[in-house]
Structure 1
Amino acid sequence: MIQLDALLCDCEHPTIAPSSAPIVEWVLEDEELLGDREPLLTSERPVVIDQLAAFGVETLRLTGTSGLDAVDELIERADDHGLETTLRTSGQQLDQSRLESLADSGLTRVSVLVEGLSTPREQHTSSDAIDAALETLRAADDTDLATELRFPLQAESVTDMEEIYDLAALLSADRFRLTHVPEPELDEEQRRRAVRRLADLARDAHERGTHLETVLSGGIDAGYVAEYAQDRLEEACSTDVREALRERLGTAPSPPVAKLGPAGRVYPGPFWDRYALGSVRDRPFGSIWTDESNPLLERLRHEEAGLPDRCRGCQFGDICSGGSRGRALAVHDDPFEPDPVCYVDKEAAAGGSPAESTAD
Structure 2
Amino acid sequence: MIQLDALLCDCEHPTTAPSGTPTVEWELTDEALLGDRAPLSASERRAVVDQLADFGVETLRLTGSTGLDAAAVGELISYADDRGLETTLRTDGQQLDRDRLESLADAGLHRISVRVEGLSTPRQEHAAADDIDAALETLRAADDTELATELRFPLHAESVTHIEEIYDLAALLSADRFRLTHVPEPKLDGERRRRAVRRLADLTRDAHERNNHIETVLSGGIDAGYVTEYARDNLNGECATDVRTALRERLGAAPSPPVAKLGPAGQVYPGPFWDRYALDSVRARPFGAIWTDEANPLLVRLRHEEAGLPDRCRSCQFGDVCSGGSRGRALTAHDDPFEPDPVCYVHEEPAVGGSAAESPAD
- Specify the TM-score bucket, using the shorter chain as the normaliser: over 0.9
Q: Match for 1:223: what amino acid?
A: G
Q: Match for 1:33: what amino acid?
A: L
Question: Which string of whole-angstrom CA distances, capped at 9 and with x for unpartnered residues, describes residues 68-119 of structure 1?
Answer: 4211111001100111000000000000000000000000000000011165
Q: Counterpart of 1:8?
A: 8
1:71-82 equivalences in 2 (<5 Å): 71-82=73-84
Aligned pair 1:136/2:132, yes or no? no
Q: Counterpart of 2:24?
A: 24
Q: Counterpart of 1:66?
A: 66
What's the % identity of the aligned pairs?
81
Q: Counterpart of 1:243?
A: 245
1:1-360 equivalences in 2 (<5 Å): 1-33=1-33, 35=35, 37-69=37-69, 70-117=72-119, 120-121=122-123, 123-347=125-349, 353-360=355-362
Q: Match for 2:26: what amino acid?
A: W
Do the aligned residues in 1 keep the contact of 2:29 with 2:68 (CA within 8 Å)?
no
- Residues paired across the two proteins, number: 360
Question: Which string of whole-angstrom CA distances, capped at 9 and with x for unpartnered residues, describes residues 199-236 of structure 1?
Answer: 00000011111111000001000000000000000011
Query: CA 1:36/1:56 → structure 2, altered by over 3 Å: closer, same or farther?
Result: farther
Do the aligned residues in 1 keep the contact of 2:17 with 2:250 (CA within 8 Å)?
yes
Q: Structure 2 stretches of 5 or more lacking a match?
A: none
Higher alpha-carbon deviation: 249-258 or 118-127: 118-127
Do the aligned residues in 2 keep the contact of 1:34 with 1:274 (CA within 8 Å)?
no
CA distance in 2, matches of 1:16, 1:257: 17
Query: CA 1:195/1:36 → structure 2, altered by over 3 Å: closer, same or farther?
Result: farther
Do the aligned residues in 2 keep the contact of 1:311 with 1:355 (CA within 8 Å)?
no
CA distance in 1, matches of 2:137, 2:204: 24
TM-score with structure 2 setting the length: 0.97
CA distance in 2, matches of 1:155, 1:250: 31
Do the aligned residues in 1 keep the contact of 2:110 with 2:147 (CA within 8 Å)?
yes
Q: Match for 1:65: what amino acid?
A: S
CA distance in 2, matches of 1:234, 1:78: 43
Q: Secondary structure at the match of 1:320?
A: coil
Do the aligned residues in 2 keep the contact of 1:5 with 1:213 (CA within 8 Å)?
yes
Do the aligned residues in 2 keep the contact of 1:321 with 1:355 (CA within 8 Å)?
no
CA distance in 2, matches of 1:91, 1:199: 28
Q: Secondary structure at the match of 1:317?
A: coil
Do the aligned residues in 2 keep the contact of 1:36 with 1:262 (CA within 8 Å)?
no
Post-superposition offset of 1:33: 2.3
CA distance in 2, matches of 1:329, 1:225: 25
CA distance in 2, matches of 1:196, 1:351: 28
Alignment root-mean-square deviation, CA: 1.4
Query: CA 1:350/1:181 → structure 2, altered by over 3 Å: closer, same or farther?
Result: farther
Q: Match for 1:50: what amino acid?
A: D
Higher alpha-carbon deviation: 217-226 or 340-349: 340-349
CA distance in 2, matches of 1:347, 1:120: 44
